[in-house]
Amino acid sequence: DVKVTQSSRYLVKRTGEKVFLECVQDMDHENMFWYRQDPGLGLRLIYFSYDVKMKEKGDIPEGYSVSREKKERFSLILESASTNQTSMYLCASRGRDSLNTEAFFGQGTRLTVV
């Protein structure tokens, strides 16, 4: 059974804190993604990575950074959390033939910044 695992289901952080969201996949996928999901807006791409140490900005990268030191792990970093980053964060992975392969999602991390 394929698995994308996010380190936390729920997080509460204070404004200004540095926040790390971790994602691990066991499918040997090249492509990994971080999205945020907000009511009425759907999923929006923050960053993606197509290989180890490679990263590309998505549609809303401001206030975020990422790290991919190992193929199976993709981390999202909020350098200085703000209340407008309160959201559901979803990690996903896809294989190399990405046009036809399914994106597998983690269970999500609901982050609240107070």
Partner 1 sequence: KNQVEQSPQSLIILEGKNCTLQCNYTVSPFSNLRWYKQDTGRGPVSLTIMTFSENTKSNGRYTATLDADTKQSSLHITASQLSDSASYICVVNYGGATNKLIFGTGTLLAVQP
Nearest to partner 1 of 18, 44 (CB atom): 44
C-alpha span between 41 and 21 (Å, rounded): 21
Min dist CB 26 to partner 1, Å, is 15
CA dihedral 78, 81, 83, 86 (to 10 degrees): 30
Nearest to partner 1 of 41, 52 (CB atom): 41
Answer for the pair 11, 112: CB distance below 8 angstroms, yes or no: yes
Nearest to partner 1 of 80, 107 (CB atom): 107
Name the nearest CA neighbour of 35 among 25, 46, 23: 46
Nearest to partner 1 of 13, 110 (CB atom): 110
> What residues make contact with partner 1 under the rule CB under 8 A?
4, 9, 31, 40-45, 48, 50, 90, 92, 94, 98-100, 102-103, 105-108, 110
Min dist CB 63 to partner 1, Å, is 20
Min dist CB 44 to partner 1, Å, is 8
Answer for the pair 111, 87: CB distance below 8 angstroms, yes or no: yes
Min dist CB 107 to partner 1, Å, is 5
C-alpha span between 112 and 70 (Å, rounded): 28
